Structure 1
Amino acid sequence: MVAVGAFLLTLAALLPLYVYDRVALLPAAAEFDVRMVDEGAWYLNTSTWSWTEASALTRVTRVDASAHGGDWSAWEMSVDTSVPERMIDHWSRRVIVDRETGRAVNCCGEHVDGDHAVRQAGLVFFWPPGAGEGDRSFYDAELRAAPAMEFQGEEEVAGVPVRRYTQTIETTQVPDSARPVPAGLFRPEASGTVTATRWIEVDRTFWVEPVSGIVVNVHETRSETLRPQNDSGEAPLLHTELAMVDQQVSAYAEQARVRSLLLRSLDSWAPWTLAPLGALAVLAGLVRSRRATSAAGREESRVPGDTGVPGEHGRVTP
């Protein structure tokens, strides 16, 4: 009983102090995608250079993660924005992710669309498990910056308690986005081409299950324009209000529910159950051992062959 109790007490200490930290790490290897859709988007059709309404616009972020040492993971990411007729935008990214914090690590061939001079920072996608309510920097690869994700409050998504964070990016020029476009986009009477840069304005919202750090839902409103480098004016390039598809929201919510239950068990429920049981087992073992020792002592104090009945082994002298 003492050995069983000692094992339970040791296990109660190891679960939150060691096992939890290892289980809570982001997976070293994984493949997943985040699919967002808008059925009323507008975009600049570059085949006709006309402002066109899309029956459906889809933005898919694909991640292929592999182990990179014991505590890091290498993410190969691609982002495709398309309408039913064509692909309208594509870029890729490689980032090394710290599996404990979920933050980017400057290392090992990182790049954004082939630009190896970038230094990525902030969260990549997941939040750290068990993180507090404070704001978090979140890296926007297109802008090469990590504006803050601001905590807005607690809500519920698909039956799962979540925290809502928002990131607002004012109209900002996208680095290395200069390209030739028809001058008529900015002045109807103009001919030829001009060099224009891309500008974006983004409002995005993440709903995060706090115990696991899993992102359950994402919404994003995005407006993009083109502006000539050496002139005034602008032309619309894209306007969309994207939302994660319902099937993914349900799937991520269930994944977060299960993982949250596991982490809560390791961090609090199991230790608080095992520790009292272990203490009781040790106490019971010590009590039984003491009783056994006392009984053995009484047996040894008796005369060999003496049954304890007076006069049984001889005549009692009056």
Structure 2
Amino acid sequence: MDPRNQTDVSEFLLLSLTDDLELKSVFFRLFLSVYLVTVLGNLLIILAVSSDSHLHTPMYFFLSHLSFTDICLSTTTIPKILANTQAQNQSISYAGCITQICFVLTFVCWESFLLLVMAYDRYVAICHPLRYTVIMNPYLCGLLTLLSLFISIADALLHSLTVLRLSFCTDLEVPLFFCEVVQVIKLACSDTLINTILIYFAAGVLAGTPLSGIIFSYIQIVSSILRMPSSGTKYKAFSTCGYHLSVVSLFYGTAFGVYISSAVTDSSRKTAVASLMYTVVPPMLNPFIYSLRNRDMKGALKKLVGRVL
């Protein structure tokens, strides 16, 4: 194939949800519903935390930022899918594709670090309860959140800028429903060694470090809980970690599902569906995980709805 300079590339072609016109209408309504549920659910979490003084604690401070991240991640991918479905056109501009890569990387990485920070918060609360308010002070909470965001933006910009230096071939079909850095790099005709090294390095450091930190935190938490004399205290400690563990399992479970799917199947559509689930399902389910069985959150949501009505 003849290479073409990146300045000549006007657009990429994304994978179509389906070629059936009737199914396209069904998928449009489905994804629109998912997007509205995601935005509304996470927005209610943010409003409930900000409006209820009882929820002005580090745990809910990080939860509100997690909800904000989920809204942004869904907004980065789903509206473009909806627009392409309605327009019967699967194209995305070159600038739009690079921008989507940057935002997806930013919010996925930020969510990973926020889950690590929330695990650290639970570790301090259970293993060092007497020093909790001293350690998890507002300054540290704000610093951890901003530092996580800064690292995520730096990583996303680094990957995006290295994609800009690539030359692309005439085949510009991305085998996913949105632009993802690995798949876009595969379309390049120029040398992608630097991009590949950066991807593996970032995956090892920026994905492995948060997961290792979460695992280490929960090893310490479980060890501390098992030493508690009262079964009621053990149950209360486990229940405060249950919501976070569910979100962590959902986030990393879908991520590993994407990796396994791409490794064991040659079907680009199955891999695309797995990747879409990774960016759509966790943001939609996280508000339900934290609100359905959390007594404080349910109380705050009832107060919020009561004020609105």
TM-score class, shorter-chain normalisation, is under 0.3
Higher RCO, Cα 8 Å, sep 6+: 2
Q: How high is the TM-score relative to the length of structure 2? A: 0.23
When you count strand as a share of all residues, which structure comes out higher?
Answer: 1
Q: How high is the TM-score relative to the length of structure 1? A: 0.23
When you count helix as a share of all residues, which structure comes out higher?
Answer: 2
